[in-house]
Amino acid sequence: MNIGIDQISFYIPKYYLDLAILAERNHVDVNKYYKGIGQEKMSIPPHDEDIVTLAANAAYPIIQKNGASDIDTILFATESSIDQSKAAAIYIHHLLNLPQNCRCVELKQACYSATAALQLACAYIALHPQKKVLLIASDISRYDLDSVAEVTQGCGAVAMLISHHPRIMKIDNMTGKYTEDVMDFWRPNYRKTALVDGKFSTQMYLKALEGAWSDYQAQEGRAYDEFAHFCYHLPFSKMGIKAHQYLTRLNKQTMQAEHIDAAMIYNRIIGNSYSAALYLGLASLLDHRNDLEEQAVAMFSYGSGCVGEFFSGIIQTNYQQYLYTTEHQRLLAKRQALDYETYLEFWHYPEPTDGQTITIDQHNHSTFRLASISNHQRHYART
């Protein structure tokens, strides 16, 4: 069936930290971060951004352009949830003024859940081809200050419309999966920052890639040399390079940089956006390559804990006309660099646990912002 990604739009906050600042503070050569990890900047949310504002601002251009009348499901994928009970999708439903006859739910499995949401959405559209699903992946990646993982933080949201006859990417039916119970990265409910066994997590990523690729092949998936490009989950860009080296070796092929480079451009200057990272890679590929019509693209999704999934799709004819490249590049162009002190101030975000009222200073001049917290409730505003 012809089902897949009809629209794709991302959003990031206006601030970033250049990793040169952390290199100086940590007394390491900046090339360890720029080249060894493959990251130059990481997006940092000010106090009036959270996963809801990131998500609403990512989805808003899609709703403005396409309307919302056919959307009857919102799937919200995140690791950095703001509530143990209420789905962030419901805030989005309200902020975007979507129809009342809509279902809203939040999905979690570390950085993987947006891929589960995509597969569920495609299956749903197969049964209800006249409907559309709004799928949003939104995350703020936080590790302990002064830990080795600190340089692999970041944040962002990607919104996608999933539909019949998609204008961007048709998703193939065959898909390869891998699950194993491991503790490579996790975050107990009482923690704001992730716990991670860094080196082990990179090994598990590669093991899951091998398992998912082998399952994809067993489902009669496409051969390695059918793909014009490969998009990997990008906790940091070097991980994408290592993953591709691994897959090329498995397939006795030669590594070609042009098979992965375009998908890594945004990630290098945004950082890890967990559940959104793979789809930020897809947006990066589409925004930087206009020669992909009818080409097959491979996608590898990884979520620690762990689940990996290898799947694929075909980029559609005239896809270039339906992108948000100008909006994406405008967001990137207007970003401001933070100094270390302001980064620290934003990192320690205010979160009253006693129900007191706080009004949040305005930094974010995009459409939606977090305006206040009172009585344990978050209040969002349109700017």
Q: Which residues are catalytic?
A: 79, 111, 233
Among 26, 36, 174, 320, binds ligand CAA (CB under 6 A): 36
Q: Residue 304's closest CA among 165, 162, 205?
A: 205
Q: Residue 323's closest CA among 172, 164, 158?
A: 158
Q: To which residue do tokens 């990272």 refer? A: 277
Among 1, 24, 29, 374, binds ligand CAA (CB under 6 A): 29
Closest approach of ligand CAA to the CB of residue 195, in Å: 10
Residue type, 301: S
Applying CB under 6 A, which part among 69-77, 125-133, 229-237, 348-356 lies near ligand CAA? 229-237
Among 113, 152, 175, 312, binds ligand CAA (CB under 6 A): 152
Query: Does the protein bind ligand CAA through residue 138 (CB under 6 A)?
Result: no
Nearer to ligand CAA, 203 or 336 (CB): 203
Cβ–Cβ under 8 Å, residues 96 and 63 = yes
Q: Which of residues 299-318 bind ligand CAA (CB under 6 A)?
A: 302, 304
Q: Which of residues 181-200 bind ligand CAA (CB under 6 A)?
A: 185, 196, 198-199
Cβ–Cβ under 8 Å, residues 80 and 54 = no
Distance, CA of 108 to CA of 77 (rounded, Å): 6
Applying CB under 6 A, which part among 145-153, 255-263, 322-330, 358-366 lies near ligand CAA? 145-153
Closest approach of ligand CAA to the CB of residue 376, in Å: 29
Query: Does the protein bind ligand CAA through residue 178 (CB under 6 A)?
Result: no
Among 45, 235, 240, 313, binds ligand CAA (CB under 6 A): 235
Neighbouring residues of 37: CB distance < 8 A, sequence distance ≥ 6: 19, 151, 152, 236, 237, 238
Binding pattern for the stretch 325-364 against ligand CAA, x by CB under 6 A and - elsewhere: ----------------------------------------
Closest approach of ligand CAA to the CB of residue 305, in Å: 9
Q: Residue 300's closest CA among 233, 357, 240, 360?
A: 233
The SS3 of residue 186 is strand
Query: Does the protein bind ligand CAA through residue 43 (CB under 6 A)?
Result: no
Structure-block tokens of residue 283: 């947006």
Cβ–Cβ under 8 Å, residues 71 and 134 = yes
Distance, CA of 359 to CA of 376 (rounded, Å): 13
Distance, CA of 337 to CA of 326 (rounded, Å): 21
Closest approach of ligand CAA to the CB of residue 300, in Å: 10
Structure-block tokens of residue 376: 């344990």
Query: Does the protein bind ligand CAA through residue 24 (CB under 6 A)?
Result: no
Q: What is the DSSP string of 6-38?
A: EEEEEE--SEEEEHHHHHHHHT--HHIIIIII-
Among 148, 218, 255, 257, binds ligand CAA (CB under 6 A): 148
Binding site for ligand CAA (CB under 6 A): 29, 31-32, 35-37, 110-111, 148-149, 151-152, 185, 196, 198-199, 201-202, 205, 233, 235-236, 239, 272, 274, 302, 304
